[in-house]
Amino acid sequence: MSDFIHHYEAGGAERPPLLLLHGTGGDEHDLVPLGRTLAPGAALLSPRGKVLENGMPRFFRRFGEGRFDVEDIKLRAAELAAFVEEARERYGIAQPIALGFSNGANIAAAMLLLAPEALAGAVLLRVMTPLVPDVLPDLAGKPVLMLSGSADPIVPADDAARLAGLLREAGATVQHQVLPAGHGLTQADVNLSARWLAEAA
- In order of 23, 68, 77, 108, 183, the CA distances from 72 in angstroms are 17, 8, 8, 14, 24
Phi, psi of 109 (to 5 degrees): -65, -40
Helix axes of 70-91 and 103-114: crossing angle, nearest 10 degrees: 80
Distance CA 108, CA 77 (A): 8
Catalytic residue, from 148, 152, 176, 193: name it.
Answer: 152
Whether 29 is a known active-site residue: answer no
3 is catalytic: no
- Point out the catalytic residue in the list 2, 6, 159, 183: 183
Q: List the catalytic residue out of 102, 148, 176, 193.
A: 102
Nearest-angstrom CA–CA distance, 21 and 118: 14
Residues 150-169: b if buried by 16+ CB within 10 A, e if exposed: eebeebeeebbeebbebbee
**Amino acid, res. 98:** A
Taking the C-alpha atoms of residue 33 and residue 130, their distance in angstroms, rounded to an integer, is: 26
Q: Is residue 183 flagged as an active site residue? A: yes
- As annotated, the active-site residues are 102, 152, 183
